[in-house]
């Protein structure tokens, strides 16, 4: 009796998974045979069956690029910066917004800060360039304090900072949505209880609000870890120039420039595969660590 | 929540408001600039002389935009895509998140499914094989080519699954006793208390569909079928690559900065409207509060 | 359930794999035309309408008259009327990356349109894979004599690029000569400061110094830019904002494969290029070049806003970007000048690749002669015999774009100089305006308008006159010592190594010019360039030239 019920329950769950799994099989797993292109010299006209096998040549080539380590370092530094600040800023913003009681102001602020997300980097880049112009607001400000103007976007000391900063600025409003949603899930009773205990606003924040959204924070940061090798092609492509290649050239911009010389699908696929392996490993590790230390299963 | 406010509380209010307003202003600037450019004289815009206020205000670009049939056609295609795509995304997300939110004792194959999905999220065979699949299914040039390949937003499934996990089993057990089916439990018990989470992932889907330009480029053979962002993407032309006078007309037609700005501004209006609408589902204390009582 | 899914997946996978390599197998069938001898003639009309599919490269945002589409417009109507043929778009995408993307998807899925444009790399692939038709015979039978004459004006270089093992596999679009590029300068600033027009590099330096120091445009201290320059510095043939003229005075031809003292070298690595760079670095240091050139987003904006006093550009700079500059400030009197080594007006310049893109016919298409026929109709009959064809005249006059189903463009090598000569003769009353081609007669109207009111011209009239008469004259009359680059193709090692070498080159050039690297580092650059693949690629280039 119990067993049958269990089984029928299992079937119910399987049936619920089925529609989505069918889509995943057709549109994710079937196309995955394309991964073999990473081990070929793929020529579109010859198709996958007709293209020549080259083994690990495409991967070996990555190591032969004279500044492959430099490109890798730029990618990781920029991506890491974006992950760290792109997590902290939205959380702080969401927590601050949560302190506001004026409903219309809360909603308006929320709506405005999420708007930059909808402008493409091609558009935003023009604005960023103007802001950092010699005669732009930032340099005018510096000059008012007697500093020399700085060409931020052509400075290897500043380029990554500007990239991370402008990315955080563009996306924090959108990133905050998930935390704002999580904040709504906190039991108001907890606030009442703590205020009866005499906790002030800051103490409430620390002992009620923050723990309330901690699972969401851990979940989002773990999923973001999967982007450790994605530094953001559109943004960097729109903002970089040859002077800052040494600090700003990342995997994706490099692959793009290689691709310009002809359709180099194999090389791009090999890089993509490598990125996937790294992301997959990191994500699995993050999940394991999270289970072990926080007793929280992310997925 | 009426309390006697202390000096410290006032001070923190001031700090909070200052920081928030500053951040808001920062985010408002680019849009303000876009709006100003769209209302400005086109040579002033080309000379990069439009900042936060329009120069020689005029409505020419909006007049031109009204006449641009393809823009509005693309606009409607995007709307259709958002409606259909989000509906399908939500349905599949909900259906998958529920069984996945169970532990392995309740649903034996749970971990297998989960790992398969994580794998699918991170690995891809690149665009050529996907293109061939879409093509051999006969989806080219149909709205379905924009919707079906991304039908399962795995990131959203994981988010919703975690949300479902926080709902206590006790709620479900009562229903099981009454003999309710899994589907009924999901739709009658889980969904009503998950509105903030659904609003969030719904917004993610809407935004994802609205912003995506690449699948339009890949799967639409007729440019009349381009969704809005694919259409807008065509406004970016690199002038330094032009070496032939015969291409001059093409630049002249796309380098209309004010018209382009007007297009971008209009393309943002729908997402500007949808967010406040969804915000009403972010009502505080709805979820766990109702559970605990 | 699971079995069904696995089966489904397997079928799909099979389908996809097969379609990936379809073309190799079933399309090797004979592609002899089914046209009658009459229909094979260049302008022979078909008895029954022939429908052909194309890959349509669009200008992006549609710029067609109301009611017309890419498949039904003045040009498709013309082709229907004259040849009884109708195009159907297999795919449409904006010229550039989006179009190339569509082409490679079409190639990968084995589903080619009957006729499409491809780049050199794709052409090689298609030839190697035997998926396109041999056009040798149909070119002979169905291209008009005028078209053949146009191709021949490149001394065989144009068609040779599309010939493989003696077979003509594509019709290329030609790129006619557009040199020399000129120094465009603010004449009103020169006049205001009482300066003479520059003739040599040294003159130019004096003029730029005066512009920057004396601020004749009242831009405010430190806001005037002497020379507007692109961050690629040099080596892009006939384009805006590069300093090729300066480099050429040192006999330097950056980014070109040239023969120097009998040896094939890459122009960017020569000692002459070092000299050119060092001159530009000197100017940058003195503040004569846009200090923000490395990060400048829109160089045009500097020119339109009136901040910049000079730039290098081709003859058509009067149309773009100067048309907007005149709209913004009608007093901004831009004039083109030639900078030469000794000031004698004689210059050296490199020539360009005579072909830009290649038009190919799918193997198995029953009417391979359509391509030469369409090319002839558009580039011969329509511009001569039928130049008064009303729908097309209205289309061009209305400033519309994107009508031609195929943008195959075949011009005489000296087309630009000829344009000037025709227009000049017409202005002088030696040629009947009615005999002008459609494009030229539009220009002629602008020139007439300018001449009626030269003091206060309409911006379009100014552009027409400045580009085609003022700059056209300079172009036609400047004696040029041509340097022909010896290689435009790609070699095997370039596929993966070239991107990195270009990166090194771009970085070094820009850093040297902007002073972040010393000119003395040029030697290090050359050494590194050679050791990271440059030497090997040079050998391959030498080999490839031998084999041609």
What mean pLDDT is predicted for residues B145-166? 92
Is C98 in Cβ contact with B222 (below 8 Å)? no
**Does B33 lie in the same domain as B141?**
no
CB contact under 8 A, A32 and B124: yes
Q: Is residue B2 part of a domain?
A: no
Residue C290: inside a domain, yes or no?
yes
The secondary structure element, H or E, covering residue C115 is strand C115-118
Neighbours of chain B (3+ CB pairs under 8 A): A, C
Q: Is A103 on the interface with C (CB under 8 A)?
A: no
d(CA A34, CA A51): 12
> Is the pLDDT at C522 greater than 90, yes or no?
yes
Question: Is C309 strand, coil or helix?
Answer: strand
Indicate whether B36 and B154 sit together in one domain: no
Q: How far apart are CA B258 and CA B252, in angstroms?
A: 13
Q: Is residue B126 part of a domain?
A: yes
Is the CB of residue A48 less than 8 Å away from at least one CB of chain C? yes
> Are residue B13 and residue B80 in the same domain, yes or no?
no
B119 contacts in chain A (CB < 8 Å): 280
Judge whether C301 is closer than 8 Å to chain B, CB to CB: yes
Contact criterion met (CB < 8 Å) for A45 and C107: yes
> What average pLDDT does the segment A242-246 reach?
92
Residue B89 lies in a domain: yes
Give CA–CA dist C425/B18, Å, rounded.
Answer: 71
Domain boundary residue among B37, B58, B79? B58
Domains held by chain B: number: 2
Indicate the residue of B233, B240, B253 with minimum beta-carbon distance to C241.
B240
Query: DSSP assignment, residue C48?
Result: S
Same domain, B159 and B53: no
Burial category of A105 from C-beta neighbours within 10 Å (exposed 0-12, middle 13-18, buried 19 and up): middle
Chain C hits for B238, Cβ within 8 Å: 96
| Cα maximum dimension of chain A | 84
The pLDDT-based confidence of A195 (bands split at 50, 70, 90) is confident
Contacts of B239 in chain C (CB under 8 A): 240, 300
Chain C residues close to A125, C-beta within 8 Å: 297
Parse chain A into domains and list their residue ranges: 1-55, 67-294
Contact B217 C93 (CB under 8 A): yes
- Report the residue from B13, B110, B119 with minimal CB separation from A280: B119
Lookup: tokens for B22: 């500053």
* Three-state secondary structure of C460-481: HHHHHHHHHHHHHHHHHHCCEE
The answer to whether position C164 is within a domain reads yes
Residue A194's pLDDT band (cuts 50, 70, 90): confident
Question: In which domain, by residue range, is C421 found?
Answer: 415-483
Both tokens assigned to C28: 């090797």
- pLDDT-based confidence at residue C170 (cuts at 50, 70, 90): very high
Q: How far apart are CA C208 and CA C226, in angstroms?
A: 5
Confidence of residue C20 (pLDDT cuts 50, 70, 90): very low
**Is residue C363 in a domain?**
yes
Residue among A46, A245, A261 whose CB faces C495 most closely: A261
Do residue C55 and residue C196 come from a single domain? Answer: no
CB contact under 8 A, A184 and B29: no
Taking residues B140-163, report their average pLDDT: 94
What pLDDT score was predicted for residue B242?
Answer: 59
On whether both B34 and B142 belong to a single domain, the answer is no
What confidence tier does B184 reach under pLDDT thresholds 50, 70, 90? confident
Q: Which of B216, B154, B84 is nearest to A29 (CA)?
A: B154
| pLDDT exceeds cutoff 50 at A235 | yes
Look at residue C265 and give its three-state secondary structure. strand
Both C78 and C206 in a single domain?
A: no
B101 and B183 inside one domain = yes
Query: Considering the domain boundaries, does residue B110 fall inside one?
Result: yes
State how far the Cα of C138 lies from the Cα of C41, in Å rounded to an integer. Answer: 9
B192 lies in the same domain as B253: yes
Residue C151 is assigned to a structural domain of this protein: yes
Query: What's the mean pLDDT in A156-171?
Result: 94
Say how far apart CA B54 and CA B51 lie, in whole Å: 7
Is residue C326 domain-shared with residue C473, that is, in the same domain? Answer: no
Assess whether B44 and B85 both reside in one domain. no
Residue of chain A with shortest Cα separation from B287? A185
* CB contact A20 to B (< 8 Å): yes
Whether residues B226 and B102 share a domain: the answer is yes
Domain end marker among B36, B58, B80: B58
- Residue C63's SS3 state is strand
Tell me how far the alpha carbon of residue A221 is from its chain's centroid: 9
Q: How far apart are CA A121 and CA C273, in angstroms?
A: 35
Q: In this structure, what token pair is assigned to residue A72? A: 């890798």
The count of domains in chain C is 3
**Which whole number is the average pLDDT over A147-172?**
93
Identity of the residue in A9, A116, A181 whose CB atom sits nearest the CB atom of B196: A181
ipTM above 0.90, yes or no: no
Is the pLDDT confidence value at B1 over 80? Answer: no
C366-398 tens-digit pLDDT: 999 999 999 999 999 998 889 889 999 999 888
Who's near A54: CB < 8 A, 6+ residues apart? A39, A40, A41, A266
Residue C49 has phi, psi (to 5 degrees) of: -55, 130
Of C93, C98, C304, the CB nearest to B43: C304
Structural domain boundaries enclosing B33: 7-58
What confidence score (pLDDT) does residue C505 get?
Answer: 95
Residues C166 and C187 in one domain: no
Q: Give B261: exposed, middle or buried? Use CB within 10 Å, 0-12, 13-18, 19+.
A: buried
What is the structure's pLDDT at A82? 95
Question: Do B189 and B244 belong together in one domain?
Answer: yes
Could you tell me if B241 lies within 8 Å of chain C, comparing CB atoms?
Answer: yes
Closest CA to A131 of A170, A92, A93: A170
Q: So what's the pLDDT on residue C6? A: 52
Distance CA A39, CA A55 (A): 5
What secondary structure, in 3-state letters, does chain B show?
CCCCCCHHHHHHHHHHHHHHHHHHHHHHHHHHHHHHHHCCCHHHHHCCCCCCCCCCCCCHHHHHHHHCHHHHHHHHHHHHHHHHHHHHHHHHHHHHHHHHCCCCCCCCCHHHHHHHHHHHHHCCCCHHHHHHHHHHCCCCCCCHHHHCCCCCCHHHHHHHHHHHHCCCHHHHHHHHHCCCCHHHHHHHHHHHHHHHHHHHHHHHHHHHHHHCCHHHHHHCCCHHHCCHHHHHHCCCCCHHHCCCHHHHHHHHHHCCHHHHHHHHHHHHHHHHHHHHHHHCCCCCCCHHHHHHC
Summary mean pLDDT of chain B? 85
CATH of the domain at C393: 3.40.190.10
In C230-249, the residues whose Cβ lies within 8 Å of chain A are 231
Same domain, C305 and C433: no
| Chain C adjacent subunits, 3+ CB pairs under 8 A | A, B
Residue B4 is predicted with a pLDDT of 53
Question: Can you read off the two tokens belonging to residue B65?
Answer: 């935009």
Instruction: Provide the CATH topology of domain A67-294.
Output: MetI-like fold (1.10.3720)
- C223 and C304 belong to one structural domain: yes
Q: What percent of chain C has pLDDT over 90?
A: 64
CATH number for position B205: 1.10.3720.10
Clarify whether residues C208 and C331 are in a common domain. yes
pLDDT for C21: 42
Beta strands in C208-333 (DSSP E): 225-228, 257-260, 263-266, 308-313
Residue in C61, C234, C463 to test binding to B, most B beta-carbons within 10 Å: C61
For residues B36 and B145, membership in a common domain is answered with no
Q: Are residues C188 and C322 in the same domain?
A: yes
* Out of C15, C175, C316, closest to residue B248 by CB: C316
Q: At what angle do helices A103-113 and B257-279 cross, to 10 degrees?
A: 140
CA distance C326 to chain A (A): 24
Q: Where is pLDDT greater, at B69 or C7?
A: B69
Choice among A187-201, B211-225, B237-251, C380-394 with the minimum mean pLDDT: B237-251
Predicted local confidence at residue B292, as pLDDT: 34
Q: Give the pLDDT confidence of C103-149 residue by residue, as tens digits.
A: 988 988 888 999 999 998 889 889 988 999 999 999 999 999 999 99
CB-based contact C59 B47, cutoff 8 Å? no
The answer to whether residue C300 sits within a structural domain is yes
Residues forming a β-bridge with C348: C481
Alpha-carbon span C25 to C18, nearest angstrom: 10
- Strands, DSSP E only, in chain A? 40-41, 52-53
Residue C342 shares a structural domain with residue C366:
no
Mean residue pLDDT of chain C comes to 89
pLDDT in the model for residue B254: 56
Q: Answer yes or no: do B148 and A23 touch at CB < 8 A.
A: yes
Q: Is C206 found in the same domain as C149?
A: no
Nearest to B147 by CA among B234, B101, B205, B221: B205
Of B46, B217, B222, the CB nearest to C304: B46
3-state secondary structure of C458: coil
How do residues B85-112 score in pLDDT, each as one tens digit? 999 999 999 999 999 999 888 888 999 9
* Closest CA in chain C for residue A126: C297
Task: Kindly state the helix (H) or strand (E) to which residue C183 belongs, with its residue range.
Answer: strand C182-186
- All residues of chain B having their beta carbon less than 8 Å from the beta carbon of residue C350 are none
The helix-helix angle for A103-113 and A68-98 (nearest 10°) equals 170
Chains B–C, number of C-beta pairs less than 8 Å apart: 130
C456 and C502, same domain (yes or no) = no
Secondary element (H or E) of residue C172: strand C171-174
**Mean pLDDT across chain A:** 88
Distance of alpha carbon B3 from alpha carbon B1, whole angstroms: 6
Tell me whether residues B237 and C90 touch, CB distance under 8 A. Answer: no
Residue A126 in contact with partner chain C when CB distance is under 8 A = yes
Q: Measured between CB atoms, which of B95, B134, B182 is closest to A19? A: B95
Cβ of residue B16 closer than 8 Å to a chain A Cβ = yes
Q: Do C20 and A47 touch (CB under 8 A)?
A: yes
Distance in angstroms (rounded) separating the CA atoms of residues C210 and C449: 34
Considering the domain architecture, whether residues B39 and B101 belong to the same structural domain is answered as: no
The strand pairing partners of C89, in sequence order, are C54
Q: Higher model confidence: residue A50 or residue B243?
A: A50
Residue C195 and residue C343 share a domain: yes
Contact status of C19 with chain B (Cβ, < 8 Å): yes
């Amino acid at each position: 009796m119990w067993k049958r019920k269990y089984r029928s329950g299992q079937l119910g769950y399987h049936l619920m998974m089925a529609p989505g799994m069918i889509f995943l099989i057709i549109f994710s797993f079937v196309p995955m045979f394309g991964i073999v292109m990473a081990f070929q010299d793929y020529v579109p006209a010859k198709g996958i069956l007709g293209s020549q096998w080259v083994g690990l040549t495409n991967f070996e080539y990555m190591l032969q690029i004279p500044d492959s380590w430099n490109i890798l370092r730029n990618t990781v530094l920029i991506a890491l910066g974006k992950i760290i600040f792109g997590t902290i800023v939205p959380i702080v913003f969401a927590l601050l917004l949560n302190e506001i009681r004026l409903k219309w102001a809360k909603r308006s602020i929320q709506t405005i800060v999420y708007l930059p997300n909808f402008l493409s980097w091609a558009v935003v880049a023009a604005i960023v360039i103007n802001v950092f112009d010699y005669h732009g607001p930032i340099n005018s400000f510096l000059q008012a304090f007697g500093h020399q103007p700085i060409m931020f976007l052509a400075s290897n000391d500043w380029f990554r900072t500007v990239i991370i900063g402008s990315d955080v600025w563009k996306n924090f409003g959108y990133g905050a949505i998930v935390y704002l949603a999580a904040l709504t899930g906190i039991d108001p009773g907890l606030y009442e209880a703590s205020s009866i205990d005499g906790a002030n606003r800051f103490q409430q924040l620390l002992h009620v609000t923050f723990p309330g959204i901690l699972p969401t924070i851990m979940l989002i940061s773990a999923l973001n870890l999967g982007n450790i090798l994605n530094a953001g092609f559109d943004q960097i492509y729109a903002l970089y120039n040859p002077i800052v290649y040494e600090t700003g050239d990342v995997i994706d911009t490099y692959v793009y420039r290689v691709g310009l010389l002809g359709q180099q699908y194999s090389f791009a696929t090999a890089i993509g595969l490598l990125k996937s392996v790294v992301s997959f490993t990191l994500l699995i590790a993050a999940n394991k660590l999270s289970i072990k230390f926080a007793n929280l299963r992310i997925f | 929540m009426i309390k006697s406010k202390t000096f410290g509380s006032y001070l923190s209010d001031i700090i909070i408001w200052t920081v928030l307003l500053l951040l808001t202003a920062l985010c408002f600037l680019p849009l303000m600039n876009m709006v100003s450019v769209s209302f400005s004289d086109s040579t002033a815009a080309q000379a990069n002389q439009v900042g936060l206020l329009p120069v020689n205000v005029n409505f020419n670009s909006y007049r031109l935009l009204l006449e641009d049939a393809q823009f509005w056609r693309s606009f409607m295609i995007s709307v259709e895509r958002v409606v259909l795509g989000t509906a399908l995304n939500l349905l599949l997300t909900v259906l998958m998140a529920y069984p996945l939110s169970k532990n392995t004792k309740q649903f034996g194959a749970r971990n297998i499914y989960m790992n398969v999905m994580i794998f699918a999220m991170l690995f891809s065979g690149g665009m050529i094989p996907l293109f061939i699949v879409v093509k051999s299914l006969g989806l080219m040039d149909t709205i379905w080519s924009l919707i079906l390949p991304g039908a399962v937003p795995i990131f959203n499934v994981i988010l919703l699954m975690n949300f479902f996990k926080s709902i206590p089993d006790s709620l479900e057990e009562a229903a099981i006793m009454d003999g309710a089916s899994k589907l009924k439990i999901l739709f009658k018990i889980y969904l009503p208390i998950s509105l903030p989470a659904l609003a969030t992932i719904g917004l993610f889907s809407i935004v994802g569909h609205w912003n995506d330009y690449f699948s339009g480029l890949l799967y639409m053979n007729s440019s009349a079928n381009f969704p809005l962002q694919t259409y807008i993407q065509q406004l970016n032309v690199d002038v330094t690559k032009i070496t032939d006078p015969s291409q001059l007309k093409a630049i002249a037609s796309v380098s209309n900065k004010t018209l382009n700005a007007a297009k971008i501004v209009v393309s943002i209006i729908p997402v500007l409207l949808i967010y406040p609408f969804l915000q009403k589902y972010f009502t505080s204390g709805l979820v766990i509060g109702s559970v605990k009582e | 359930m699971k079995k069904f899914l696995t089966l489904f997946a397997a079928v799909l996978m099979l389908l996809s794999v097969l379609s990936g390599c379809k073309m190799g197998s079933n399309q090797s069938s004979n592609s002899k035309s089914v046209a009658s001898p009459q229909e094979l003639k260049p302008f022979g009309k078909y008895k029954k309408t022939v429908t052909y599919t194309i890959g349509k490269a669009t200008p992006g945002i549609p710029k067609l008259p109301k009611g017309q589409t890419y498949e039904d417009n003045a040009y498709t109507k013309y082709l229907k009327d004259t040849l009884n043929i109708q195009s159907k778009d297999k795919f449409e995408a904006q010229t550039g990356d989006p179009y190339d993307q569509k082409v490679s998807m079409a190639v990968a899925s084995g589903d080619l349109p009957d006729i499409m444009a491809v780049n050199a790399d794709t052409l090689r692939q298609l030839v190697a894979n035997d998926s396109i038709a041999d056009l040798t015979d149909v070119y002979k039978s169905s291209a008009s004599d005028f078209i053949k004459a146009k191709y021949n004006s490149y001394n065989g270089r144009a068609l040779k690029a599309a010939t493989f093992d003696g077979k003509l596999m594509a019709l290329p679009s030609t790129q006619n000569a557009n040199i020399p590029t000129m120094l465009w300068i603010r004449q009103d600033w020169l006049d205001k400061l009482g300066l003479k027009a520059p003739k040599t590099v040294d003159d130019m330096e004096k003029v730029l110094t005066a512009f920057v120091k004396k601020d004749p445009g009242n831009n405010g201290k430190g806001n005037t830019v002497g020379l507007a320059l692109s961050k690629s510095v040099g080596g892009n043939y006939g384009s805006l904002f590069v300093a090729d003229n300066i480099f050429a005075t040192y006999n330097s031809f950056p980014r070109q494969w040239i023969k120097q003292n009998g040896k094939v070298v890459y122009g960017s690595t020569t000692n002459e290029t070092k000299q050119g760079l060092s001159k530009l670095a000197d100017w940058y240091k003195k503040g004569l070049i846009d200090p923000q050139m490395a990060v400048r987003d829109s160089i045009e904006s500097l020119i339109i806003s009136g901040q910049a006093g000079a730039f290098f550009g081709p003859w058509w700079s009067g149309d773009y970007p100067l048309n907007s500059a005149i709209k913004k400030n009608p007093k901004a009197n831009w004039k083109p000048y030639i900078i030469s080594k000794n000031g004698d007006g004689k210059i050296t310049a490199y020539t360009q690749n005579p072909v830009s893109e290649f038009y190919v016919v799918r193997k198995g298409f029953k009417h391979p002669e359509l391509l030469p026929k369409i090319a002839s109709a558009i580039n011969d009959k329509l511009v001569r015999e039928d130049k008064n064809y009303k729908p097309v005249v209205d289309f061009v006059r209305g400033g519309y774009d994107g009508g031609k189903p195929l943008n195959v463009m075949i011009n005489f090598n000296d087309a630009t100089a000829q344009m000037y000569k025709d227009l000049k003769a017409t202005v002088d009353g030696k040629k009947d305006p009615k005999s002008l081609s459609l494009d030229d007669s539009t220009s002629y109207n602008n020139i007439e308008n300018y001449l009626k009111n030269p003091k206060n011209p309409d911006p379009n009239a100014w552009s027409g006159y400045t580009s085609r008469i003022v700059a056209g004259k300079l172009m036609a009359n400047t004696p040029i010592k041509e340097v022909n680059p010896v290689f435009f193709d790609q070699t095997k090692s370039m596929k993966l190594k070239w991107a990195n070498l270009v990166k090194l080159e771009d970085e070094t050039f820009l850093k040297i010019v902007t002073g972040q690297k010393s000119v003395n580092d040029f030697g290090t650059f050359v050494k590194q360039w050679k050791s990271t693949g440059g030497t090997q690629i040079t050998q391959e280039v030498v080999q490839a030239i031998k084999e041609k």
